[in-house]
Structure 1
Amino acid sequence: MLNEKQPSGTKSTVDADLENIPVEQVLAQLGVQVERGLSSSEAQQRLAQYGPNALVEKEESLASKILGHFMGPIAYMIEAAALVSALIGHWDDFAIIGFLLLFNVGLEMWQDRKATNALAELKKGLALEATAMRDGKWQTVTATTLVPGDIVKIRLGMIVPADVRMVSGDYASIDQAALTGESLPVTKKVGDEAYSGSVVKQGEMTCVVIGTGSNTFFGRTAKLVAGAGAVSHAQMAMFQIGNFLIIIAVVLALIMVAVRVYHDIVVANDWGINDALSILQFVLVLLVASIPVAMPTVFSMTMALGALSLSKEQAIVSKLSAIEEMAGVNILCSDKTGTLTKNQLSLAEPILIAGHDAQECILTAALASNIEDRDAIDTAVISALKNQDILNNWNKLKFVPFDPVTKRTAAKVTDPAGKSFIVTKGAPQAIVDLAKPSAEVAQKVTDTVAALAAKGSRALGVARSEDDGVTWSLLGILPMFDPPRDDSKLTIENAREKGVQVKMITGDDTAIAIETARQLGMGTNIIAAADAFPKDMDPNNVPTEILDLIERADGFARVFPEHKYAIVKALQSRGHLVAMTGDGVNDAPALKQADCGTAVSGATDAARGAAALILTAPGLSVINSAIDEARRIFGRITSYTIYRVALTMDIMFLVVLSTIFLGFTPLTPIMIVAMSLLDDVPIMAIAYDNTSVSEKPIRWKMPRLLSVSAVLGLFSIVESFGLLLIGMEVLSDPMEQAYFGLTTQAQLQSLVFLQLVAGGHLLLFVTRTERWFFQRPFPAAPLFLAILFTQILAVLMCSFGWLVEPISWTLIGWIWAYNLVWMLLLGLVRRMTERFVDFRTVRHIKSLDMLNRPI
């Protein structure tokens, strides 16, 4: 335990494996006597050497947290856009961009504050005080001052204050489910180890501390939590999309500047400072228009509304990006105890040996139980009685709690008639040894226990003595199991239909895991992680053969926290998006590392703090709702992204091409700013849109998305440039000028402005669904009304001359007719492009399969 790296400035003097060597050698290595303990001076010296028995966390200042939200590629682009707007004096534009930036940062900070810090919650699980032998006498000390070599005492109700080895005492029953996932308390005797943070349920023992702080089992879990975490795919997508648009904008801006400068200097031989400032101003405004300032806000609002929807399904989102990640999840690693099962031991029909009635056998076991101890086995036995009130008719004279040596409980009772006898229950072999039945009966018990173990059930032997323990009658065997939840099988089937594979992860034995998996209709290729994974395996660098094993497995039994973390990391390294469910401290590292960590109902604070999704209702059924909602959200974000990239390309190419080839500036700076507002601000209503649910996991496929966006953008450029050429043709014909009311270049700019605003929103109807835009699902009312309002505003601007030159209603009508025709064409273009891209992808995969197929 102490051969791990010590805190800076300290050095360990103990290199032995204190977890496994005999306890006498542990005491010798640590230089301590059980009767005396450490002296105060020695404890202080070791405290300086090994550090406090606490989890050390680097605190981040509030200023650093706030500053962090203003950093990153997209944030830098938005800030640059605001700065450019201020430099050229466009304060309205500066105000809008600044508002979008602050709104997005505020939303992220609110989410961060709502999410509980996982390490802080882990600290709450540590014992606050401990009983230690110092200077030859027992003292109550602060748990943080414990050091390796301290002699401590643990008893009923206490939290184990550090990793310890038992040195004296009868036994202790310790609940370490939150650490290891075992569903029942574990009985510890002299020589056994107990972990920091586990809870003593029965007994009292004296122990020696072998590990403190971050060198405990608990501390290693906390270090895994601190180092865990996956980068959001939505963030990476935003960076790639932003970079794509910026590169295009910069290249086009450079081309336009070069052409304008060449024309003014070489061709016109007329160049001045005002010309330079004019070019710079227009280029900066064009760059501002190209930056997707609203993209982070649209993403955040879409996911925030999804979080609100999930809250109605009794699922609380503590990390917004997890919603988007859930859409692409193709593997769900689920904890067994309490998630797939009820975490309530139940009795099956007793297997009678000498008994004649099942309820009589259960009654005998119940009399050998003590309900006040709240022991899981005792509770299950008593609950199996059809009439629990019958226990009131019996008088319990003496009760002997579970003894790890005899492996049974016992009680002396008197029946309603006053006759006394002794009852006992415990490990079947212990009961056989006590009752000494015939060889045939003993073999029957052995076979029965083996058969039950193969089905994942525990066995409990029951016996009774009517002559004060001289002879015993073995009444029968009680099968005990943790039954699956009623909705678990259906949930797993539904997840499988959605393309999500469910892998079970449990700290229980392999046989129990296999039987549970069989009952739930899951695969039964269950791997015993404690045997299959090397003890010293680095969870961040899993060997290839172990990776293959993890990927093929249907589930894992006998797992520890580092196993769960390693399983998630391994699956992620193979390209899988992984959701992980859990409820204990032992699950926290894996929950934080997973793409969508999910804390189930009744989870510990540490698990909730590490998770991105917190379920408040029992079971996993809400997971399917979360997957559906995530895929709807992903569809909304994808449709917005395609729309934004295509429209940005349309604006930038139209401005540059018309400036270079026609010598005409189609938009004024104020038009570009107004268009950005009319396009982006109302488009946030896409967060409310109706979207179909994908049948399979969906991810960010940037080549496909950018290909579709680029093709739609190309045809949109043709649409806009074509109308511009038609407008120029009208300007050259007096008769057409009179009919359309188009007489000046300023009105031509208004024509282009209205076409881009109207065509842009009609383009959104094309991008919002992979089907034809006139098929279901239809646009949601908020989105439709937001677009309708902006279109009416744009028409009124062009009709009454608000910020633009006024144009006739006849021309407005023709612009709309032109856009509607192109809307049909763009719908066809999208469908054909996606079919081509998808066909090439499928054909490529088939070609690779054919090449790799053995001859």
Structure 2
Amino acid sequence: MGEAASEHKSDHVVNPKGLTSEEVTRLLAEHGPNVIAEDKPNPFRLFFKKLWGPVPWMLEATLVLEIIMGNNIEGLIIGFLLIFNAILGFMHQQKAQNALNMLRTRLQIMARVLRDGAWKQVASSELVPGDYVHLRVGDFAPADLVIAEGQVLVDQSALTGESVPVEREPGEVVYSGSVLRRGEASGSVTATGSKSFFGKTAELMRGAGSRSHAEELVMSIVRYLLLMDAALVIAILIYAAITGLSLLKVMPFALILLVASVPVALTATFTLTSAVASLDLSSKGVLLTRLAAIEESAAMNELCSDKTGTLTLNELTLSGMQTADGVDDADLLLMGALASDERTQDPLDKAILARLAETGVRAPEKTGFTPFDPATKRSEATFLRDGETWRAVKGAPHVVAKLAGADGEFWETAIADLAASGARVLGVAAGREGALSFKGLIALADPPRPEARGIISDLRQLGVRVRMVTGDSMATARVVAAELGMEGVVIGGRDEIAKGDICDIYAGVYPEDKFRLVQTFQNVGHTVGMTGDGVNDAPALKQAEVGIAVSTATDVAKAAASMVLTESGLKGVVEAVKTGRRVYQRLLTYTLNKIVKTIQVAVFLSLGLIVFRHFVVTPLLVLLLLFANDFVTMSIANDNVRVSREPDIWNVRVLIKTSVIIAIAWLVYIFAVFGVGKDVMGLPIPELRTLSFLGLVYSGLSNVLLVRERSYMWSSRPGTYLLLAIVGDVIMVSVLAHFGVFMAPVAWSAIGLLLAFTILFVTLLDLIKVPLLRSPSSRPVEAGAA
């Protein structure tokens, strides 16, 4: 490591003034963007993967058996459907991947860089060798850089596997992708992108690799359905053996029956729905670091929100000062400014430094600076005064007062007076080493965000209760909470928080207390959202079901969170909750439909063979049925849905009970269709199969309309794509049935009667469905597509 560092140091000259825009343009053209080019998968390979797997194998085996039996037309059609299904799956996979790639480009690490003589934030991908960058606690190193100022503790475990952090001093290299655990530093970029030492850059996006809780739940239900189908296939094979039915005829049917039960579109539907929704959220100021966060947003019912910058504007102005005896305002302001640093871009520091600049007073040169640490709640600097080393400290009043040995009780009244207007109060101390004296208090006004009160009300109407979490005093917290319309119990102090009591406003909170707060709510069954911005907030953000990194968060906080807000305030959280609930409703529709259709089709085909002693629907028509259903199933991802006014939680018992009852009703329907065709209309077996096929298609399409709405079917309009898919399916299968394409022809009169019967039946079934699905989480409040 040392050799690598020395090589970089010897080859690189630090320019503490940074680069100009012209130099950046030239170097960017020469070195390229600060990214690692990913190997793009071969699209042909991705496509052919769609032809390899359990479902394609079963279709391919059926194709071979049909050809062996001399059914070349059926084999050709199965081959066509196999290829078409692969194309459809490939296209949806590409659409989902494109959405994820777009999201990844928006979820970039930002860097504080000195350009054209001014500090600014730019995307890390725009860094070039020679850029002068400032790093603080919680940042990912955006490129290889040699430290010019400061001393830091660096975690390189993601690069080297070494779990122990290492110290880095001026002249030493911090490698791209490592994490700053302590201290602040400025340095010059030595290498970017693939030319960095480890050829690795940090990334916040965690993608869609793992299944969400909802997807696992649905897959567990599907596994039980597959077991049911396996039992039915065994029953068919036993029946064939007993009756002497040819296995060559039964095997294609058995394979197609299994194919009909496999959720071919499950993964594509979940991923596509979540990816499209996440892309929509990105345009509303919310970037997801993992797709499963959408599901958890739908279930969230408690939100612990930071005050500063989230509920308030974070546009601080110095609103008042209270000096100690013998100290004037100018000296108090100067000491507070010395304990501040412009490079951190901290609003507190910027407000104090701005007021000092207005006075025209020039602060002495600092000999050292320790940035604000959430764990100690203070920042400090050293400087020379009259040839002696002095310290200037600013931070939480009680912390600084204790450090300086001041009478805390004496200052309580002054703190309360300054905090009465909702201002944030800081204590300032200064003095020679070992002889700090309390200089006084600085009040900084941070007014509530104009929209915050309305947003809190919106969240409350959605069943999400907002709790204020702040490091400020109880007095400040009470005033701000009152202005925001948040009433309730206020507690403050670590001892009170440690008791695990639930209240509305938490004051005097340290970052590590947030982790306990999340656990407190989770222990009583709540789904918790937590906002945060600092490196010490990361454990709480990771523990919460919905960890929310605010727009000013450190890279470590963003990486730990489920979602990152790109705009200040909680508006993005409201959008995330609504979008999550829309996604939930669509996935619930898909799941209900899948369970119902699997039971109906599998039981009808199996019992039909055993009871009527012939195939009630041919294997080819079953494939056409699946083909018709796929269009509609994929369209669910774009359906119009209504947002629930309460958190949406998957209720397995209600889900299965409702699905089974509806499936039994549709079984009664399809057996009635077959019975009427056979005994009343006297249709021959080929036409009975056509009628049964039409009945399965019509009932399948009707079932989507039935289960997509938790209330009555006519309560909301289906999405345009879904409606077009349903109408298109009805027209296509009706025309094929009438003209006898792939099946025996039937008269328009029979098709019309069947359609009318289906509409009547689904209308009656709708009356049964509503009480089955009626629950607190099913009540809609607004309509709209995501």
Using the size of structure 2 for normalisation, the TM-score is 0.68
Q: 1:627 aligns with which of 577, 588, 605?
A: 577
In the TM superposition, what whole-angstrom CA distance separates every residue of 1:145-202 from its partner, at most 9, and x where no partner exists? Answer: 99999997679xx9999xxxxxxxxxxxxxxxx99xxxxxxxxxxxxxxx8343269x
Quick check: 1:458 aligned with 2:425? yes
SS where residue 779 of structure 1 aligns? coil
Quick check: 1:674 aligned with 2:624? yes
Q: 1:805 aligns with which of 734, 744, 751?
A: 744
How many angstroms does 1:334 deviate by?
A: 2.9
Letter in 1 for 2:579: E
Q: 1:239 aligns with which of 219, 225, 241?
A: 219
Quick check: 1:124 aligned with 2:141? yes
Query: Cα–Cα, structure 1 residues 559 and 638, in superposed 2: closer, same or farther, change >3 Å?
Result: same
How many angstroms does 1:367 deviate by?
A: 7.2
Quick check: 1:499 aligned with 2:463? yes
Distance 2:333 2:448 in 1: 24
Comparing 606-615 with 766-775, greater Cα deviation is found at 606-615
How many angstroms does 1:296 deviate by?
A: 2.1
Distance 1:406 1:816 in 2: 75
SS where residue 744 of structure 2 aligns? coil
Letter in 2 for 1:747: E
Distance 1:377 1:582 in 2: 17
Quick check: 1:658 aligned with 2:600? no
In the TM superposition, what whole-angstrom CA distance separates every residue of 1:86-130 from its partner, at most 9, and x where no partner exists? Answer: 654632343244345545655665566654799x99642799546
Partner of 2:230: 250
Query: Cα–Cα, structure 1 residues 81 and 453, in superposed 2: closer, same or farther, change >3 Å?
Result: farther
Q: 1:749 aligns with which of 689, 692, 701?
A: 689
Distance 2:226 2:156 in 1: 56
Q: 1:198 aligns with which of 176, 183, 195?
A: 183
The answer on whether the counterparts of 2:534 and 2:554 sit within 8 Å (CA) in structure 1 is yes
Partner of 1:314: 285
Distance 2:379 2:425 in 1: 18
Q: 1:828 aligns with which of 761, 767, 775?
A: 767
SS where residue 641 of structure 2 aligns? coil
SS where residue 338 of structure 1 aligns? coil
Q: 1:94 aligns with which of 82, 96, 104?
A: 82
The answer on whether the counterparts of 1:314 and 1:622 sit within 8 Å (CA) in structure 2 is yes
What residue ranges of structure 1 are gaps of 5+ in the alignment?
1-38, 41-58, 162-177, 180-194, 202-221, 265-270, 356-360, 413-423, 434-438, 464-473, 534-545, 733-741, 842-855
Letter in 1 for 2:668: V
Distance 1:525 1:443 in 2: 21
Distance 2:310 2:223 in 1: 43
Q: 2:239 aligns with which of 243, 251, 259?
A: 259
Equivalent runs, 1:354-433 vs 2, <5 Å: 373-374=341-342, 379-381=350-352, 391=359
The answer on whether the counterparts of 1:460 and 1:480 sit within 8 Å (CA) in structure 2 is no
Letter in 2 for 1:635: Q
In the TM superposition, what whole-angstrom CA distance separates every residue of 1:291-329 from its partner, at most 9, and x where no partner exists? Answer: 121122222232233223323322233432222221111
Decide which structure has the larger Cα Rg and report it: 1
Letter in 1 for 2:425: R
Distance 1:567 1:316 in 2: 24
Number of positions where the alignment pairs a residue of Structure 1 with one of Structure 2: 654
The answer on whether the counterparts of 2:549 and 2:565 sit within 8 Å (CA) in structure 1 is yes
Letter in 2 for 1:608: K
Distance 1:426 1:319 in 2: 38
How many angstroms does 1:623 deviate by?
A: 0.9
The answer on whether the counterparts of 2:337 and 2:352 sit within 8 Å (CA) in structure 1 is no
Quick check: 1:487 aligned with 2:432? no
Query: Cα–Cα, structure 1 residues 531 and 123, in superposed 2: closer, same or farther, change >3 Å?
Result: farther
Distance 2:608 2:548 in 1: 53
Distance 2:687 2:764 in 1: 27
Distance 2:667 2:399 in 1: 84
Letter in 2 for 1:598: I
How many angstroms does 1:770 deviate by?
A: 1.6
Quick check: 1:772 aligned with 2:709? no
Equivalent runs, 1:211-360 vs 2, <5 Å: 232-264=212-244, 275-349=246-320
Comparing 89-98 with 122-131, greater Cα deviation is found at 122-131
In the TM superposition, what whole-angstrom CA distance separates every residue of 1:421-477 from its partner, at most 9, and x where no partner exists? Answer: xxx9989999999xxxxx9xx9976631365579784256899xxxxxxxxxx9996
Query: Cα–Cα, structure 1 residues 598 and 713, in superposed 2: closer, same or farther, change >3 Å?
Result: same
Distance 2:247 2:163 in 1: 73
Query: Cα–Cα, structure 1 residues 615 and 148, in superposed 2: closer, same or farther, change >3 Å?
Result: closer
Equivalent runs, 1:563-582 vs 2, <5 Å: 564=514, 568=518, 571-572=521-522, 575-582=525-532
The answer on whether the counterparts of 2:265 and 2:633 sit within 8 Å (CA) in structure 1 is no
Comparing 321-330 with 295-304, greater Cα deviation is found at 295-304
Query: Cα–Cα, structure 1 residues 550 and 102, in superposed 2: closer, same or farther, change >3 Å?
Result: farther
How many angstroms does 1:785 deviate by?
A: 1.4
Query: Cα–Cα, structure 1 residues 99 and 805, in superposed 2: closer, same or farther, change >3 Å?
Result: same
Comparing 514-523 with 636-645, greater Cα deviation is found at 514-523
Query: Cα–Cα, structure 1 residues 817 and 316, in superposed 2: closer, same or farther, change >3 Å?
Result: same
How many angstroms does 1:237 deviate by?
A: 2.2
Equivalent runs, 1:42-57 vs 2, <5 Å: none
Partner of 1:602: 552
Comparing 83-92 with 323-332, greater Cα deviation is found at 83-92
How many angstroms does 1:620 deviate by?
A: 1.0
Q: Percent identity?
A: 27
How many angstroms does 1:800 deviate by?
A: 1.4
In the TM superposition, what whole-angstrom CA distance separates every residue of 1:786-824 from its partner, at most 9, and x where no partner exists? Answer: 211111111111111221211111111111111111111
The answer on whether the counterparts of 1:408 and 1:430 sit within 8 Å (CA) in structure 2 is no
Distance 1:142 1:612 in 2: 22
The answer on whether the counterparts of 1:307 and 1:316 sit within 8 Å (CA) in structure 2 is yes
Comparing 612-621 with 510-519, greater Cα deviation is found at 510-519
Equivalent runs, 1:57-76 vs 2, <5 Å: none
Letter in 2 for 1:449: I
SS where residue 308 of structure 1 aligns? helix
Q: 2:730 aligns with which of 787, 791, 800?
A: 791
How many angstroms does 1:663 deviate by?
A: 1.4
In the TM superposition, what whole-angstrom CA distance separates every residue of 1:499-549 from its partner, at most 9, and x where no partner exists? Answer: 22334455667776666556541654546558966xxxxxxxxxxxx7xx2
The answer on whether the counterparts of 1:82 and 1:93 sit within 8 Å (CA) in structure 2 is no
Query: Cα–Cα, structure 1 residues 93 and 147, in superposed 2: closer, same or farther, change >3 Å?
Result: closer
Quick check: 1:644 aligned with 2:594? yes
Distance 1:575 1:614 in 2: 25
How many angstroms does 1:778 deviate by?
A: 1.4
Distance 2:362 2:443 in 1: 25
Q: 1:694 aligns with which of 636, 644, 652?
A: 644
The answer on whether the counterparts of 1:313 and 1:622 sit within 8 Å (CA) in structure 2 is yes
Query: Cα–Cα, structure 1 residues 526 and 703, in superposed 2: closer, same or farther, change >3 Å?
Result: same
Distance 2:218 2:322 in 1: 63
Letter in 1 for 2:265: A
Distance 1:149 1:244 in 2: 48
Partner of 1:763: 703
The answer on whether the counterparts of 2:156 and 2:165 sit within 8 Å (CA) in structure 1 is no
What residue ranges of structure 2 are gaps of 5+ in the alignment?
4-35, 66-74, 110-123, 125-137, 187-201, 371-377, 386-391, 431-437, 779-786
Comparing 87-96 with 795-804, greater Cα deviation is found at 87-96
The answer on whether the counterparts of 1:100 and 1:293 sit within 8 Å (CA) in structure 2 is no
SS where residue 83 of structure 2 aligns? helix
In the TM superposition, what whole-angstrom CA distance separates every residue of 1:616-657 from its partner, at most 9, and x where no partner exists? Answer: 221111211221121122112212221221122111111112
Comparing 590-599 with 681-690, greater Cα deviation is found at 590-599
In the TM superposition, what whole-angstrom CA distance separates every residue of 1:65-86 from its partner, at most 9, and x where no partner exists? Answer: 99xx99xxxx976466556556
Distance 2:165 2:760 in 1: 83
Quick check: 1:729 aligned with 2:674? no
Query: Cα–Cα, structure 1 residues 711 and 615, in superposed 2: closer, same or farther, change >3 Å?
Result: same
Query: Cα–Cα, structure 1 residues 657 and 576, in superposed 2: closer, same or farther, change >3 Å?
Result: same
Letter in 2 for 1:235: E
Using the size of structure 1 for normalisation, the TM-score is 0.63
The answer on whether the counterparts of 2:336 and 2:428 sit within 8 Å (CA) in structure 1 is no
Query: Cα–Cα, structure 1 residues 253 and 567, in superposed 2: closer, same or farther, change >3 Å?
Result: farther
Letter in 1 for 2:640: N
Comparing 480-489 with 698-707, greater Cα deviation is found at 480-489
SS where residue 644 of structure 2 aligns? coil
